[in-house]
Structure 1
Amino acid sequence: MSNQMVVMQPQPVMISRDSDQWGSRVCDCCDDVPECCFAYWCFACFTCIKAKTYGECLCLPLLDFCGIIPPITMSMRVSMRQRYGIKGTMCNDCLVATFCRACVWCQMSREMKARNLPITLVGARNL
C-alpha cells in the first residue's frame, strides 16, 4: 500500500488597501502637469506608452481614431476599474471616454502611478 502526499503551494492573495474610488478626478490634470502636457502635445504617443505600461499592445490605442466612441479608451478604463477595485459604471466610462478622452488617459496614468503595486514574494528563500 502506498501513501501519497499532496503538497499544495499557497496561492497569492492581493489585498487592496487603496480606496474604491479614483485617486483623482478626470479634470485634475494639474496634479501631474508634465503628463498632461505630454498628452496634449503628442496624444497618440502618450496613449501608446500608457497602454504598454498597463500591459497591453503598444499600438492598441491607435484603433480609437476610427470611430465616435473610442472602444480602446473605454475598455482600458473599465479594465483599470476592475483591476484596482474602483466603483463606477460602463455608462459613465463611455461618456467620459467619448467627451474627455485626453483627460481620461491622464487620469488613468495618474492612477497607475498611484497604485503601482510591487510584487513581493512572502516566505521565498534564495537557493
Structure 2
Amino acid sequence: MAVQQQITTVTTTRTHSSGTWSTGLFDCPSDMKSWFTALCCFPCMQCETVSDFGWCFCMPLLDCILPVSCCLRSKIRERYNIQGSIADDCLMVICCYPCAWCQMSRELKARL
C-alpha cells in the first residue's frame, strides 16, 4: 500500500490599490529606522531596499549616473500599480536623491 503526500503552498499578497505612494517624498521621519540608516550609512539603506525588492544587494553601488535608482523606482511603481511615469521617476531621483530612496524603502516595507 503506497502513501502519497501532497504539499500545498499558499502565497498571499497584500495590495494597496490607491494608485499612489503610501507615503510622500518628504515623509522620511515616518520610518525612523530607514531614516536613521540613511543618515548614518546611505549605501547600507540602498542595499537593503534593493534586497527587499528582490534584486542583488550590490545594484546601488553601480548607480553612477542614476539608472539603477530610476529603474528601481519605475519597477516599484509597476509592481504596485502606482501612477506616474519614468520621467516622473527620474525627476524625483534627480531632484531629491536621498528622499526618493527613503520613499522607495518605506513603500516596500509597507507592502511586504
TM-score bracket for this pair, using the shorter chain length: 0.7 to 0.9
Structure 1 gaps, min length 5: 1-11, 117-127
Please report how far the alpha carbon of residue 17 of structure 1 lies from its aligned counterpart in structure 2 after TM superposition.
4.7
1:79 aligns with 2:75: yes
Which of 103, 107, 110 pairs up with 1:111? Answer: 107
Q: Quote the sequence identity (%).
A: 40
Identify which of structures 1 and 2 has the higher relative contact order when contacts are C-alpha pairs closer than 8 Å and 6+ apart. 2
Alignment of 1:32-111 (within 5 A): 32-64=31-63, 66-67=64-65, 70-111=66-107
Closer, same or farther: CA 17–76 of 1 in aligned 2, 3 Å: closer
Count of residues in Structure 1 that have an aligned counterpart in Structure 2: 101
CA RMSD of aligned residues (A): 1.7
Structure 2 gaps, min length 5: 1-10
Name the TM-score, length of structure 1 as normaliser. Answer: 0.73
Name the TM-score, length of structure 2 as normaliser. Answer: 0.82
4+ residue segments displaced more than 4 Å: none
Alignment match, 2:27? 28
